[in-house]
Structure 1
Amino acid sequence: MTIELIGFDGDDTLWKSQDFYDAAQAEFERIIGRYVDLADARVHERLLAIEASNIHVFGYGAKGMTLSMIEAAFDITGGLISSGDLHRLVGIGKEVLAHPVELLPGIREAVETLTADYRIVLITKGDLIHQQAKVERSRLGDLFQRIEIVSEKDPPAYSRVLAEFGIAAASFVMVGNSLVSDIAPVLELGGRGVYMPYHSTWLLETNPQFALEDPRIVQVGEASQIPPAIARLRAG
């Protein structure tokens, strides 16, 4: 089956990301643990619920996470959290925004290999300024014919990209670590996907409504396996 365009996700597909958010949450819980019993207060679940409810307001990324942590901290502690600790939460967010970009092993070589035969586009979501900075720090930008930073990775977003390239969904393959935002919307449109799971995934990016046994998906364990997976999908 013909493949005319390959899309790559950014966070946790090209470079490490979730590790920094996991560290931020651990620091958040350490701070909140000064005020409440972490288990009794269901701190993890309550923060996740507030983040989920705020996505449509703040979007994805470190800034939305920081505002959600401040809201959750005030709510969980009953307003007892100190101004100093609130200031520290802001600092945590800034640290996530400033983290270095560390490419996943072999990803540059995998993308370079595919550029010889395919058009490649980067499709990532999150805060515009933060994502632009990560693309620049990654030094991968020149490998992509186009860089799309979207507020949500859903069927309309992918449809817009495909329309602008003049590509049918059946000729598109998306490579990413999230079944929910990288793979499921593309399959819904009739495309295909290469799923490369990362060792840590945000809970809101899990539990898609389809089975991994779908023949339109190839799962790989590392970047070097991406080009062979694309060849397998091309062969049908």
Structure 2
Amino acid sequence: MQRFVKYNFKHKALTLFSLLLVLFFSSCEDVVTLDLETGETRLVVDAEIIWQKGTTGEVQTIKISKTAPYYNNTTPKVSGAQVRIENSNGDVFTFNETEPGSYVCTNFVPVINMDYKLFVTAEGQSFTAVEKLTSVTPIDRVEQKVVPDFGGEDVIELTFYYKDPVDETNYYLTDYKSDFLIFPEYELTKDELYNGNEINTRFSDEDKIQRELLLILQTAVFLKTSIII
């Protein structure tokens, strides 16, 4: 009889301990909402002109929106804006609104090393920006292999290589796209330590070893002007 009581006491203690653990770990999953300040609403002009290799580059899109509080699920779009780009030859390319906040040009003419000036008029305000269309260094090769990460799990790692031009200050924006990435991932590289040498950039995803990694490396020429006004 004493043995039965002793066992029953241990069983109850173990049950109570397990319940406390469940409550403890459940409390660790509470969502904490920070009380963030909301700043002044500003216009955001995202003008990314990309000439991808093998295309004419005729169709270009510029997006105009407004800043929004951090916890907002949507971004306010700006309609009714006037958007155009002029090159150094005086050619004018007009961007027409196709949907709220999206302005499209279908006859754009990209020319390497030419200057382009952006003009935007929206909600009674006018803005300009100037940039040169420069060529991207071509990718020499891409390698893919399976490697262990810090936790010992296998991950797919992609490495691509390109040669940095000598005696130039260059910045490289790498755009990673895949079917399992909700948004593209970007990486910025400066040639300060690699000037004139081969540069390699790596990408891996520890959660997707069982899925094919689709990486789009855009060997393109592009002009990117992003303004937050």
Fold-level similarity (TM above 0.5): no
Structure with larger Rg:
2
Under TM normalisation by the shorter chain, which class is it?
under 0.3
Higher helix share: 1
Query: What TM-score, normalized to structure 2?
Result: 0.21
Query: What TM-score, normalized to structure 1?
Result: 0.20
